Structure 1
């Protein structure tokens, strides 16, 4: 089994209404249950908006911190799934279901499975 990150993107300039958010969460919950039943679900989580983030950046043996995201873009990371699948096709199938459930784009990225030393 390979692990994949399904990264949910969200355009923060177009927030949902409370009613839209509740409906989206209900649809997403059904996908979570389906993933769990299939043995693919590992972990999932929603994230606060990007204004709640802090970027910690290394420089010359020390760090600096700035509020908010570093990248200036409309789409931000809104949530994610960590899943395990037989192959990329299966991960993409879950991403399609997730995208339809939450109404947002999903980036599918395999984990870099480094061998144990």
Structure 2
């Protein structure tokens, strides 16, 4: 085999390996992008049919409700309320998530609610994040 053929074979194998690793890396990144909340995740509140994930960045709090089993349209809701302000809510029949909803909480406590189908989460009071 000539050196040019070996170089092309090595380049082809490198490209195939990189494509394979990219295929493995994308699903985790796709799930992170699916939440659409910026900042760092500060809490997760699991319940029977899903999870409410809460993120925080520069005084803003963001929340999404994710179903345990995604893909089928089902009723989902997420609600976020900073102390002294009105709640911000997203509700409807979704496949993958309800939200994101964002409020400027500053240092205030928040009240969080979420639900998928018949399962519900309610913080049952003000919590500090």
Q: Of the two structures, which has the highest relative contact order with CA contacts closer than 8 Å and spacing of 6 or more?
A: 1
Q: Same fold (TM over 0.5)?
A: no
Query: TM class by shorter-chain length?
Result: under 0.3
Larger Rg: 2
